[in-house]
Amino acid sequence: MRIDIVSLFPDMFAIVGDLGVTGRARRLGLWSMHVWNPRDYTEDVHRTVDDRPYGGGPGMVMLAEPLERALDGALAARMRQAEDAVDPTTAAGASAQGVPGSRDAVAGGKPASDTPAPSAARAGPQPGGPSAGVPVILMSPAGRRFDQAMAQDLADGPGAVFICGRYEGIDQRFIDRRVTHEVSLGDFVLSGGEIAALACIDAAVRLLPGALNDNESARQDSFNVATHGLLDSPHYTRPETYHGLDVPEVLRSGHHAHIAVWRRQQSLALTAARRPDLLEAARGEGLLSKQDEAFLRSIGHQP
Ligand code: SAM
């Protein structure tokens, strides 16, 4: 999976590129990340990326053109990478070094360059053109709320280009021309799209086969299809007694069938208490067994 990000703050992406599960997965070659700074695609000495809003009002608006050029740089690099994959004799080692013109925020821990990108990368094969089937995802409070199904779709596909807004937002004409999806992290306003993009990328990368040490652990997570979209059950580790609180007896029994039943019941009870909507969805899809329904009745849950 290849992730491209258009952002004024490339350094923020070292969090997913270098650290934890996502950093390990990147080092294993399961995904790659390339960050494109619109400032590198400006023509003026001040490297201007924003201007005052038409119609007045507070704040600044991101200019369409540097964003569009940065996006073209990302799409051109993706296309070159795909061509190199088909004909490795023309690769010229580009992929090992990060793509020219991009700021691979993770290669060597440093952005490749602050200077304007080479014209080849800036032009792109089809400047201002379609995204060649690559999702161009704008992080936006007006977008569809991100969820586990969207994370799975992202993990199952070739990746995406994330566009991170700043200031009051982005000139609508860039959105109209180039954005294919708008995604929100939730009903609150962040200062920029970077934290929202980081969350989406993290959620998708941990679903890539081989990203977690034990592939089973993602399957047991909350919202996963394998657990019928319910919330995860509680977890315990040593010591057996902590400040007078014991680990539930069944988890120490070594009886795997009993442990599986206990975990399913805990998951059902927690979901019924906190997210009855998820329980209804599972019921609607016929995913609750007779035993599940009997347990839910026993704890007083009414469908
Ligand atoms: N004026 C905008 C509004 O009220 O909808 C908010 C702009 S916000 C300060 C700057 C940028 O942060 C947005 O363009 C978007 O990219 C990002 N952003 C803010 N909240 C977000 C959210 N809940 N989900 C995804 N991105 C968000």
Each of the 303 residues of the chain gets a pLDDT tens digit; together they read: 999 999 999 999 999 999 999 999 999 999 999 999 999 999 999 999 999 999 999 999 999 999 999 999 999 999 999 999 887 775 543 333 333 334 333 333 333 333 334 333 333 334 556 677 899 999 999 999 999 999 999 999 999 999 999 999 999 999 999 999 999 999 999 999 999 999 999 999 999 999 998 877 888 899 999 999 999 999 999 999 999 999 999 999 999 999 999 999 999 999 999 999 999 999 999 999 999 999 999 999 988
Q: Is 206 a catalytic residue?
A: yes
Give residue 89's pLDDT. 72
Give residue 120's pLDDT. 36
Give residue 99's pLDDT. 35
Q: Specify whether domain 227-298 bears CATH 1.10.1270.20.
A: yes
Domain ranges across the chain = 2-205, 227-298
Give residue 71's pLDDT. 98
Q: Is 221 a catalytic residue?
A: yes
Closest residue (by CA) to atom 27 of ligand 1? 140
Question: For ligand 1, is residue 205 a contact (CB within 6 Å)?
Answer: no
Give residue 52's pLDDT. 98
Give start and end residues of each alpha helix (H) in the chain: 14-18, 20-27, 64-86, 94-97, 119-123, 148-156, 172-178, 194-205, 215-219, 249-252, 256-274, 276-284, 290-298
Q: Which of 141, 275, 280, 283 is catalytic?
A: 141
Q: Is 171 a catalytic residue?
A: no
Ligand 1 centroid, distance to 12 Cα (angstroms): 16
Could you say which architecture CATH assigns to the domain 2-205? 3-Layer(aba) Sandwich (3.40)
Ligand 1 centroid, distance to 191 Cα (angstroms): 6
Q: Which atom of ligand 1 is nearest to the CA of 186?
A: 23
Question: For ligand 1, is residue 139 a contact (CB within 6 Å)?
Answer: yes
- Contact of 211 with 27, CB cutoff 8 Å: no
Q: Which of 221, 232, 280, 293 is catalytic?
A: 221
Q: What is the pTM of this model?
A: 0.88
Cα(274)–Cα(79) distance, integer angstroms: 45
Question: For ligand 1, is residue 58 a contact (CB within 6 Å)?
Answer: no
